Amino acid sequence: MTSASGDRTWMDPRGCLFCRSSCPERDEGRIMFYKFNGFTQRLSGGAGPAAYCPQGLKPLVSTEPPTMIFDTPTKSVSELEGGGVHFLGRNKVPDFQQIFQKPDGLPVHLKRGVPDRLLYRTTMALTIGGVIYCLVALFLAAQPKKQN
Amino acid sequence: MAHQAHAYHMVDPSPWPLTGATAALLMTSGLAIWFHFHSLLLLYLGLTLLLLTMIQWWRDIIREGTFQGHHTPPVQKGLRYGMILFITSEVFFFLGFFWAFYHSSLAPTPELGGCWPPTGINPLDPFKVPLLNTAVLLASGVTVTWAHHSLMEGNRKEAIQALTLTIILGVYFTSLQAMEYYEAPFTIADGVYGATFYVATGFHGLHVIIGSTFLAVCLMRQIQYHFTSEHHFGFEAAAWYWHFVDVVWLFLYVSIYWWGS
C-alpha cells in the first residue's frame, strides 16, 4: 500500500504510531498525518504532502540533481562516428571544467594564468592611474581662477 | 583539499568591485571635467575601466557556475531573486520618466499653447515606423520564447537559430529607432515634449542595446555548450530582461507615440 505521493516512507509495517490495532485509515491504505493547529489548539487530520512541507514552502528550484543533456536526447551524429560532424564546434566544457577545478589555490579571476594576469594588471594599472589622475584633476579644478 | 559542508557559494576574493567603484568615480568626475574644462580623457578612462570590470566580473561568474559547479539550486535561487529585484528597480526607473511625461501632458501649460502635443511640435506618425518597431519587438518576444523551449528540449540547432533571430530583431529595432531619431522634426531641446520623448525613448533604446548584448553573450555560450536542458539561468535572465524591454516599449508606444500625438 502506498500513500498518495507514491512512496512508502510513511508506511510502518508494525502499524501506525497511534494504535497497533486495525484502524480504518490504515485498512483503506491511507496514513493519517496529524497536524497541530496553533490557533484552535487542536489536532486535525492532514494529507500526506503537508507532512513533507509543514510550512507550505515548496522548493522554488528542483532539489534533484539535474540530468545533464548537452545535445538532443537521441544519439547525435558526432557520437556515432567518433568525432565526425559537430554543429558549430566540439563541446569543450569538460576540458574547461578540468582546468578551472585544478587545486592550485589560484582565485577564479587568475585561474587561466598568463592571459588573466595580463588583463588584471592592465585593469589595475588603469584603476590606480585613473584615481591619481582624477584626484589631480579635481584638485586643479578646485583652484580659484586668477582675477585680473 | 578542503570541502564545504553546505550548498552555498563562498566566492574567491575579487578585485572587480574595487575597479567598478573606481570606474564610477572616474565617470562622474570625468563628466564634470568635460563640462568645465572640455577634456574627455577622464571620462573615457572611466568608461574603459567600466567595460573591463563588466567583462572580467561576468566572465568569472561564468567560470564559477559552468566550470566550477558553484551554482547549486540554492545559489541559483539567489541569482533569480537578484535578477528579479534588479528588473524591478529598472521598472521604477522608467516609472519616473512616465510620471514626468504624464505630468506635463495631462495638464499642458499656457507656454505650450495649452495643448498636447504643444504648439509647433509635429509628432511622429504612430502608425508608421513606431508601429513597425512594436511588431519587431513583439516578434522578438516570440523568438526568444522559441529559443527557450528549444533549449529545454535539448534542441541545440533550433535554440541557436531562434536566439540569433531574436538578436537580429533587436538590432533591427535599434537601427530603425536611430533612423527615426535622425529624421525626426523635433529635438531633445524642443521644450518638455522633446525632453520627455528623447529621455524616455533614449533610455529605452539603451536598454534594448544592453538586452541585445546580453542575448549575444548567451548565444556565444549556447554555441559553446555552456547551457544544459535543465540548467540555463543566464539565458533565462536574459529572456526576462528582454521581455521587460518589450513591455516598456509597449507602454512607451501607447503613452508617448499614440496617446501623446
Closest CA to B218 of B144, B146, B154: B144
Dump pLDDT digits (tens) for B176-223: 999 999 999 999 999 999 999 999 999 999 999 999 999 999 999 999
Please give the single-letter amino acid code of residue B103: H
pLDDT at A81: 44
Cα Rg for chain A, rounded, in angstroms?
Answer: 33
Question: Are B37 and B78 within one domain?
Answer: no
Question: Are B152 and B122 within one domain?
Answer: yes
- CB contact at 8 A, B196 and B101: yes
Can you tell me the distance from the alpha carbon of B256 to that of B247, in angstroms, rounded to the nearest whole number? 14
Cβ neighbours of A129 in B, within 8 Å: 45
CATH code of the domain in which B32 resides: 1.10.287.70
Cβ neighbours of A79 in B, within 8 Å: none
Please give the model's pTM, rounded to 2 decimal places: 0.78
- CB contact at 8 A, B68 and A101: yes
Can you tell me the distance from the alpha carbon of A110 to that of B59, in angstroms, rounded to the nearest whole number? 11
Question: Are B26 and B110 within one domain?
Answer: no
CB contact (8 A) between residue B52 and residue A126: yes
Question: Are B91 and B152 within one domain?
Answer: yes
Q: How many domains does chain B have?
A: 2
Residues of A with CB under 8 A from a CB of B: 59-63, 66-73, 87-89, 91-93, 96-97, 99-101, 103, 107-109, 111, 119-120, 122-124, 126-127, 129-131, 133-134, 137-138, 141
* Cβ count near B135 (within 10 Å): 11
Does the N-terminal peptide bond of residue B117 adopt cis geometry, omega within 30 degrees of 0? yes
Given B43, B70, B97, the domain boundary residue is: B70
Query: Cα dist. B122→A72, B125, B128, B180, B256 in Å?
Result: 54, 9, 14, 13, 13
Query: Tens of pLDDT along chain A (148 residues)?
Result: 444 444 444 455 554 555 555 555 555 555 677 888 888 888 888 766 667 676 766 666 667 777 777 765 555 444 444 444 467 789 999 999 999 999 999 999 999 999 999 999 999 999 999 999 999 999 999 999 877 6
Task: Output the 3-class SS for A83-98.
Answer: CCCCCCCCCCHHHHHH
Alpha helices in chain A (DSSP H): 24-27, 48-52, 77-80, 93-100, 114-141
Question: Are B103 and B8 within one domain?
Answer: no
Grid look-up 509495517 returns A13
CATH code of the domain in which B155 resides: 1.20.120.80
- CB contact at 8 A, A3 and A11: yes
- Which residue range(s) make up the domain with B231? 72-258
C-alpha cell at B17: 568591485
